[in-house]
Amino acid sequence: MQALRRPHAITLSLVLLTLFGALRPSPAHAQRRRSARTATPAEAGPQLYRSANFHMMTDLPRDEARELLQRLETMHRLVAAYWGRRNTRPIEMFVVDDLSNWPAERLQQMDPQGLASIRAQAGLTMTQVISNGKQFASKSVVYAVADHGTPQHEAVHAYCGHAFGNAGPVWYAEGMAEVGKYWRENDKSVGASEYVIQYLRNSPIRPLNDIVNNPLETTGDSWQNYAWRWALCHLLGFNENYTKRFKPLGLALLAGRKANFWQVYGTQAQEIEFEYRLFIQDLEPGYRCDLCSWDWKTRFRGVTSASPTVSRIRADRGWQASRLQVRKGQTFRYSCDGEWELAKGEEAVTADGDDQGRGRLTGIYFEDYELSEPFELGAEGTFTATQDGNLFLRCGDAWGEIADNSGTIKVELTLDEEAAVTPPEPQSP
Ligand SMILES: [Zn+2]
């Protein structure tokens, strides 16, 4: 099933019913939200709640319904600002907390496919597009269970349906609906559900092309597929190496123009593959793709003279270029100047870190789009390169907690002259 076909201009006013499937799975470990509450009799049946962009029929208790409406409006503001188009008319939504609260006449107002989706604990957005090939008018109706951010996910589809009459290919439509679901104002950190993060980290990595170019994938296929689509869209949306091209690509896809991932990113394929693997490996709540964007620009040099290689390493960034290119077996002396803080108001520490090892200067080798294991350095000392590569450095801290760090440490690296005259010891196996 194709998620959304472009409106065909076969005849004027052709009505095309399009489905944005929306799978909201209930993995065993993703607990169904069930707040401690008792609905008063007056609240037992579904009620209509209205805001500027949403007309929502729901059996949620009034305070929760109003809160959801507010969250939807905030989300709408963010996605409309991102894509640069306004929603054209209020989005109709059926949001179901418990179907047994819904009298038969209300259920009859729902489309059978929408109702079936709700019974499956999922969501579905149905968009009608009337198009003459040049202009379109569209109307989207959302059916969603109240849990798992499903209303937010579906509302992104409905917004796209109204604003563009299109949602783009499955990977983009579903990936961005997930991104939109987690979107918070002025916050670029990973906010995906814990089970999504755990699944991605503990699964064999899915090749990029399997995400962006898989004709077998369909909307509503599996929450695992949604997780990979979210990961890719989140990375491209927030990583500073790719974000600039991502929005024009998305707008082209939403406009139904011929555009695809590889046309836009083909020349950066190896870089994206590398950063995508790293993102999945280090993924945790609070991870910041923007702060961990890889430095592809800085030039690295081998040691050619007595002058030190100098870099300034920020505490609030991921791996950063030391500028030093190493050869296996070379021994280097390093010394650091400065201090950094691991959280606002915390005591500053040197590159030795604190007594638990947090904040310690840490190194890693990059060679041919592969990384070594990270290894600890400190404020001063020597190390012998275990392989060829470019040395990257960072302040040792949890990946989800680097955004609140501050401070910069100056690192000087020189070839260790004493070690240089004696050949390195053979490596023990
Ligand atoms: Zn969806």
What is the tens place of the pLDDT at every residue in 47-86? 999 999 999 999 999 999 999 999 999 999 999 999 999 8
pTM, to two decimals: 0.88
11 alpha carbon to ligand 1 midpoint, in Å? 28
Contact between 77 and 92 (Cβ < 8 Å) = no
Instruction: Report the pLDDT value the prediction gives residue 422, as an integer from 0 to 100.
Output: 53
Sequence-separated contacts (24+) of 35-44 with Cβ below 8 Å: 35/64, 37/61, 37/64, 39/101, 44/101
**225 C-alpha to center of ligand 1: Å?**
11
What is the reported pLDDT for 418?
A: 75
Residues with CB under 5 A from ligand 1 (ion): 22, 174, 177
Query: What does the buried/exposed string (b/e) look like for 414-425 if buried means 16 or more CB atoms within 10 Å of the residue's CB?
Result: bbbeebeeeeee
Q: Is domain 309-421 in CATH 3.30.479.30, yes or no? A: no
Q: Where are the domains of the chain?
A: 1-26+43-167, 171-293, 309-421
What is the dihedral angle through the alpha carbons of 319, 323, 327, 328, rounded to the nearest 10 degrees?
-20
Cα 213 to ligand 1 centroid, rounded to whole Å? 18
- Retrieve residue 372's tokens: 């070594």
Dist. CA 368 → ligand 1 center (Å): 37
What's the CA gap between 105 and 324, in Å, rounded? 72
Q: How far is the CA of 64 from the centre of ligand 1 (A)?
A: 23
Query: What local confidence, expressed as pLDDT, does residue 252 receive?
Result: 95
Span 181-201, pLDDT tens digits? 999 888 999 999 999 999 999
Q: Which of 323, 314, 416 is nearest to 361 (CA)?
A: 314
The rounded distance, in Å, linking the Cα atoms of 332 and 349 is: 23
Compute the distance from residue 15 Cα to the ligand 1 centre, in Å: 21
Helices and strands (DSSP H and E) totals, the chain = 12, 16
Give the Cβ contact number of residue 191 at 10 Å: 17
Q: Residue 67 C-alpha to ligand 1 middle, in angstroms?
A: 22
Residue 396 CA, chain-centre distance (Å), reads: 23
* Distance in Å, CA 178 to ligand 1 centroid: 8
| Distance (Å) from CA 223 to ligand 1 centroid | 10
Question: What is the CA(156)–ligand 1 centre distance, in A?
Answer: 8
Q: Tell me whether strands 91-96 and 136-145 are parallel, antiparallel or unpaired.
A: parallel
Q: How far is the CA of 287 from the centre of ligand 1 (A)?
A: 24
What are 209's two structure tokens? 């092309």
The predicted pLDDT at position 27 comes to 41
pLDDT for 8 equals 35
Q: How far is the CA of 177 from the centre of ligand 1 (A)?
A: 6
Helix (H/G/I), strand (E/B), else coil: 235? helix
Q: Which amino acid appears at position 147 of this protein?
A: D
Q: 294: number of CA atoms within 13 Å, CB side?
A: 23
Count Cα neighbours of 71 within 13 Å in the Cβ-side half-sphere.
Answer: 18
Distance 372 CA to ligand 1 centre (A): 38
What's the 397 CA to ligand 1 centre distance in angstroms?
35
In percent, how much of the chain has pLDDT > 70?
Answer: 86
According to DSSP, residue 154 is labeled H
Residue 128 burial (CB count, 10 A): 16
Distance (Å, rounded) from C-alpha 282 to C-alpha 231?
12
265 Cα to the center of ligand 1, angstroms: 24
Ligand 1 centroid from CA 140, angstroms:
13
Task: Determine the distance separating the centroid of ligand 1 and the alpha carbon of 221, expressed in angstroms.
Answer: 10
10-residue mean pLDDT profile of the chain (429 residues): values are 32 40 43 46 78 97 96 94 93 96 93 94 91 84 92 95 91 94 92 95 95 82 92 97 96 90 93 97 97 97 84 98 97 97 94 95 98 98 97 98 97 85 55
In 90-161, which ranges are E strands?
A: 91-96, 123-131, 136-145
Beta-carbon contacts of 316 under 8 Å, excluding residues fewer than 6 positions away, are 291, 402, 403, 404, 405, 406
205-210's contacts with Cβ under 8 Å and 24+ in sequence apart are 205/276, 205/277, 205/280, 208/232, 208/261, 208/269, 208/272, 208/273, 208/276, 209/262
Residue 420 CA to residue 415 CA, distance in Å, equals: 7
Instruction: Please give the distance, rounded to the nearest whole angstrom, from the Cα atom of residue 383 to the centre of ligand 1.
Output: 50
Between CA 335 and CA 380 the distance in angstroms is 4
CA 171 to mean position of chain CA atoms: 13
